[in-house]
């Protein structure tokens, strides 16, 4: 897959510095939800014709994804304790995780299942 220079610039301009999830083509390893967040969620640093660099938001570890294996880049909602709605959002999130089937938040395992179904 070849990405044209203008598209790389648009992606870089929009996503650089934002928290994203990188969705990749299926690999032969299973991840639980925490591992998926550790490996595929981070601050978008750089994109090139070769791939995408992200930085883990808490550990500062770097991850690189070859562009040929990237399916999509998903912008994530990000809040800090300075947000006036922080407590409300955290409470809502915790409640929604307990009621997972109705959760408005991304379920990485469900996305992986969708990818597997689409592949077959």
What's the CA angle centered on 103, arms 101 and 108, to 5 degrees? Answer: 85
**Number of folded domains in the chain?**
1
Residue 106 has pLDDT above 80, yes or no: no
| Per-residue pLDDT reduced to its tens digit, 43-54 | 999 999 999 999
Range of the domain at 36: 5-119
CATH number of the domain bearing residue 56: 2.30.30.100
| Per-residue pLDDT reduced to its tens digit, 16-41 | 999 999 999 988 888 888 888 889 99
Q: Which candidate, 77, 103, 80, 83, places its Cα nearest to that of 20?
A: 77
105/96 Cα distance (integer angstroms): 8
Whether the model clears a pTM of 0.85, i.e. scores above it, the answer is no
| Per-residue pLDDT reduced to its tens digit, 55-75 | 998 899 999 999 999 999 999
């Amino acid at each position: 897959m070849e990405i044209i220079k203008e598209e790389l610039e648009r992606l870089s301009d929009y996503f650089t510095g934002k928290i994203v999830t990188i969705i990749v083509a299926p690999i032969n390893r299973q991840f639980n939800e925490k591992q998926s967040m550790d490996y595929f969620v981070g601050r978008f640093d750089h994109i090139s014709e070769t791939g995408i660099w992200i930085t883990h938001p808490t550990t500062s570890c770097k991850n690189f994804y070859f562009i040929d294996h990237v399916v999509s880049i998903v912008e994530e909602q990000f809040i800090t304790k300075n947000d006036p709605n922080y407590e409300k959002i955290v409470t809502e999130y915790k409640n929604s995780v307990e009621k997972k089937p109705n959760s408005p938040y991304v379920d990485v395992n469900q996305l992986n299942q969708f990818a597997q179904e689409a592949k077959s």
